[in-house]
Structure 1
Amino acid sequence: MKKLAYKERIAGRLTLVTSGIILVVFGIIYLVANYTVVSNIDRELGLETDKHKDQIFLVNGDIRFLHMDEWQEMEHSQIQLNPIFIEIVDLEGKSMDRSPNLRENHLSFSPEKSEQKEAVTLKIGASEVRQMQIPLFNEGKHEGYLLLAKSFEDSRELLNNLRNVLLILYPGILLSLFLTMRYLAGKSIEPIQEIIRKTNQITQSNLNERVPVAEPNDEIGQLTRSINELLERLESALNREKQFTSDASHELRTPLSVLRGTLEVLIRKPRTSEEYVEKIKASFASIDRMSATIDQLLALAREEKGKNLIKEELELITFLEEITDQSAKDLHRKISFRCESGVPVFVKANEKSLQMILSNLIQNAVKYSGTQSEILVKTGLQEGLPYIEICDEGMGISPEHLEKIFDPFFREKEVVDRSIAGTGLGLAIVKKLALESGIKISVSSKKGKGSVFRLDFPLS
């Protein structure tokens, strides 16, 4: 079964809901009209009963009229547009007198309705009437009943016509409503169709294009902005991927070219043993550089998988003292530790992940600092939140490069010119690990005066 178009589903749902509302409204209209018509007739019957109850008396079973001429007036004698039917009955309900316009018919007698002065709708022969009855008293003695009725034929015809009109209008209104809703729904989703058309045109080759925002403040505008933001993230990720691939190829191609050139030089002619040793050492250096690059690439790829790290509670002071001492021994540099908190500092973190972050930051600090400069690792609490800072007095980072240093393979030109060893992947790994661990990493630096890398931990 073919699924209906979205605009038709919208139109169908709106029409279904509106049809119920219209049905209720039509019902209310009919009930109000019925109530108004019946109330008007009952009011007229009430006026008639009030007029006649003081003019008709039963005296020892005989009927007396205060104004005989009103009893014999035309509306009681003939069946006309709005005739009034009157009948007088005794306590047993036997007819004592009636208006000539009743002919051979009698009004319905119900003693229980007399006290309430309640009107009812009933049939007199082939005609429908609205009837009311009241008790007749003579000197406080209950002598009989006065029954009055008014024709309900015209009112019934009016109500039936109203009902038929509403029943005829109802399907017509529903059909026109569905077609209108369908048209309006189609117009309403035109911006969405335009978004679909535009996004279908965007491919990898033109990922820089964006969907035009027609109405920025409505839901369609919000959807358009969300799609554009998604496209920006995709474009940025694709560009980073391209740059990463290019940089990785370059980093691996360079030592391979050096290694190939060195080996070609070796086989051109016989060399002395010293020359062989020198070229082999150069080859080993190229191999070591490629190995380091590959190891860093593998580490970065593992972190990009976004695996969930198991976190455990760590006491930072003891943890950092051990890392600082071990790094000082391994790197043969003076690395100091300072705690700026008078109480133990606890964090929730993955121990191996945090160790790798700190090792990379400390190695960077040593690499880009003079041999006599001191590296300082410190921890403490700021506004109740733990932090770690790695401070150096090295060459510093240019302000325009502070946001780029965490990009894979990024290295400042000055660093490359000085032939400082490195792959440009260490800080990228640090950034990935920090994000995975929920640690905020920031850096402040002054060119020629050193840098401070700061790790801020979330509340445990």
Structure 2
Amino acid sequence: MKKLAYKERIAGRLTLVTSLIILVVFGIIYLVANYTVISNIDRELGLETDKHKGQIFLINGEIRFLHKDEWQEMEHSQIQLNPIFIEIVDLEGKSMDRSPNLRENHLSFSPEKSAKKEAWTLRIGASEVRQMQIPLFNGGKLEGYLLLAKSFEDSRELLNNLRNVLLILYPIILLSLFLTMRYLAGKSIEPIRQIIRKTNQITQSNLNERVPEAEPNDEIGQLTRSINELLERLEASLNREKQFTSDASHELRTPLSVLRGTLEVLIRKPRTSDEYVEKIKTSLATIDRMSATIDQLLALAREEKGKNLVKEELELITFLEEIVDEAAVEHNRKIIFQSQSGVPIYVKANEKSLQMILSNLIQNAVKYSPQDSEIVVKTGITHALPFIEICDRGAGILGEHLDKIFDPFFREKSVVDQLIPGTGLGLAIVKKLAQESGIKISVSSEKGVGSTFRLDLPIS
């Protein structure tokens, strides 16, 4: 089954809601008109009963009129202008007298409605009337009942005409509403169509293009900005992937070329045992370098997936003391731990992730600082947030390179020239782990003085 277009669904929903509102309004109009017409007739019947009540009496089963000639004359004129049907009955409901306009018909006898002076609708022959009934007393004794009715034909015709007009108008209004809503919905989603057309034109080859913003402050503008931000993230991710692939292939091609060259040299002619041992050691070193690069690439790839890390409460001071002691023994270096807080510091973090971050940063500090210099690991709380700092007295980093040191495979030329081992992936892994853990990482460095890496952690 084919789904309706979005504008038609919007128009249909709006029309449905509006149709229900109009239906309620039309119903209220009809009920108010019906109530008003009936109330007017009942009021007129009440006035008639009050008037005739003082002119008609029942005495010992006989009907007596006050000024009978005048009453008949007045009644005759009223019947001609505004038909009133009158009937007098005894206690059993037997007709004692009635107005000539009733002919052979009789009004309805209902003694229980007399006390309430309640009116009701009934049919007399082919006509519909509204009737009221009151008791007739003589000396405090109930002698009979006076029944009065007024024609309801004109009022019924008025109500029927109103009902028919409302029933005819209802579908016309609904159709007009649907067409209007459909047109307005189409105009409303036109900016979305433009966004769709533009996004369909954007491919991998022109990912730098953006969707133009029309009204920046409305929902369409917010949607446009969200799409543009998504395109920016996709473009940045694609560029990083291209750069990563290029750098990775370069980093792996170089040791492979060295290994191939070494092996080719070995098979050209017979060698001495010492030469074989030397070349094999060179090959093994090259293989170790490739293995380290591949391990780092795999670690970075795992972090690129953005897996959710399980965070638990961690006491930072004790945790850092253990990390520093293990690193000092492992690297055979003097690593000092300083706590600027006199109370325990609790943080929410993934223990293995934080341990890997610190291990990489401490390893870098050891690698790029002189053997006799100290490495300091600090912790404390500033502005209600825990922090960790890893400080070294190494070669430092140039200011223009501070924004690049977290990029995969980036290494300063001076470091490469000094043949300091490394793959350029350690800080990239640190950044990914920090982002996943909600840790803010920053660095300050001065060439020839040293570097300080700072981690601001979320508090528990």
TM-score for the superposition, normalised by structure 2 = 0.87
Matches of 1:353 and 1:78 in 2, distance apart?
A: 103
- Cα offset, 1:393, TM superposition: 2.3
Matches of 2:306 and 2:101 in 1, distance apart?
A: 98
| 8 Å Cα contact 2:338/2:379 also seen in 1 | yes
Unaligned runs of 5+ in 1: none
Matches of 1:145 and 1:256 in 2, distance apart?
A: 122
Matches of 2:141 and 2:348 in 1, distance apart?
A: 100
Matches of 1:93 and 1:263 in 2, distance apart?
A: 131
Partner in structure 2 of residue 132 of structure 1: 132
Partner in structure 2 of residue 363 of structure 1: 363
| 8 Å Cα contact 1:215/1:221 also seen in 2 | yes
Q: Deviations over 1:81-133 (max 9, x none)?
A: 63112222333333333222223322222222221111111122221111112
Partner in structure 2 of residue 210 of structure 1: 210
| 8 Å Cα contact 2:405/2:411 also seen in 1 | yes
The worse-fitting range, judged by mean Cα deviation, of 303-312 and 270-279 is 270-279
Matches of 2:312 and 2:355 in 1, distance apart?
A: 13
Matches of 2:313 and 2:159 in 1, distance apart?
A: 82
2:165 aligned partner, one-letter code: V
| 8 Å Cα contact 1:434/1:440 also seen in 2 | yes
Matches of 1:68 and 1:257 in 2, distance apart?
A: 137
Matches of 2:24 and 2:323 in 1, distance apart?
A: 78
Partner in structure 1 of residue 73 of structure 2: 73
| 8 Å Cα contact 1:328/1:335 also seen in 2 | yes
Aligned partner of residue 73 in structure 1, secondary structure: helix
| 8 Å Cα contact 1:76/1:100 also seen in 2 | no
2:373 aligned partner, one-letter code: S
C-alpha change, 1:80 and 1:397, in structure 2 (3 Å) is: farther
Query: Map of 1:224-303 to 2, 5 A cutoff?
Result: 224-256=224-256, 287-303=287-303
Aligned partner of residue 105 in structure 2, secondary structure: coil
- Cα offset, 1:312, TM superposition: 5.9
Matched length:
460
Aligned partner of residue 130 in structure 2, secondary structure: strand
| 8 Å Cα contact 1:76/1:86 also seen in 2 | no
- Cα offset, 1:348, TM superposition: 5.3
Q: Deviations over 1:369-404 (max 9, x none)?
A: 344432111234456654322111233334444333
1:403 aligned partner, one-letter code: D
Correspondence 1:172 to 2:161: no
Partner in structure 2 of residue 425 of structure 1: 425
Matches of 1:21 and 1:156 in 2, distance apart?
A: 26
| 8 Å Cα contact 1:76/1:84 also seen in 2 | no
1:129 aligned partner, one-letter code: V
Q: Deviations over 1:201-222 (max 9, x none)?
A: 1111111122222222222222
Partner in structure 1 of residue 389 of structure 2: 389
Aligned partner of residue 112 in structure 2, secondary structure: helix
Correspondence 1:19 to 2:16: no
C-alpha change, 1:347 and 1:264, in structure 2 (3 Å) is: same
Matches of 1:126 and 1:80 in 2, distance apart?
A: 19
Matches of 1:61 and 1:39 in 2, distance apart?
A: 34
TM-score for the superposition, normalised by structure 1 = 0.87
Partner in structure 2 of residue 123 of structure 1: 123
C-alpha change, 1:202 and 1:70, in structure 2 (3 Å) is: farther
Correspondence 1:97 to 2:78: no
Partner in structure 1 of residue 193 of structure 2: 193
- Cα offset, 1:153, TM superposition: 0.8
2:219 aligned partner, one-letter code: E
The worse-fitting range, judged by mean Cα deviation, of 24-33 and 368-377 is 368-377
| 8 Å Cα contact 1:77/1:99 also seen in 2 | no
Percent of pairs with identical residues: 87
- Cα offset, 1:451, TM superposition: 2.0
Aligned partner of residue 354 in structure 1, secondary structure: helix
The worse-fitting range, judged by mean Cα deviation, of 357-366 and 183-192 is 183-192
- Cα offset, 1:264, TM superposition: 7.5
Matches of 1:412 and 1:70 in 2, distance apart?
A: 126
Matches of 1:313 and 1:188 in 2, distance apart?
A: 50
Partner in structure 2 of residue 49 of structure 1: 49
1:404 aligned partner, one-letter code: K
The worse-fitting range, judged by mean Cα deviation, of 388-397 and 374-383 is 374-383
Partner in structure 2 of residue 9 of structure 1: 9
Cα RMSD of the aligned pairs, angstroms, is 3.3
Q: Deviations over 1:122-179 (max 9, x none)?
A: 1222211111122223443433322221111111111112222222222333333333
| 8 Å Cα contact 1:76/1:99 also seen in 2 | no
C-alpha change, 1:330 and 1:105, in structure 2 (3 Å) is: closer
Partner in structure 2 of residue 152 of structure 1: 152
| 8 Å Cα contact 1:75/1:83 also seen in 2 | no
| 8 Å Cα contact 1:213/1:224 also seen in 2 | yes
Matches of 2:132 and 2:225 in 1, distance apart?
A: 72
C-alpha change, 1:35 and 1:270, in structure 2 (3 Å) is: same
Q: Deviations over 1:204-246 (max 9, x none)?
A: 1111122222222222222222222211111111111111112
Aligned partner of residue 388 in structure 1, secondary structure: strand
Matches of 1:319 and 1:59 in 2, distance apart?
A: 115
The worse-fitting range, judged by mean Cα deviation, of 8-17 and 319-328 is 319-328
Matches of 2:52 and 2:457 in 1, distance apart?
A: 97
Query: Map of 1:321-400 to 2, 5 A cutoff?
Result: 321-345=321-345, 347=347, 349-382=349-382, 386-400=386-400
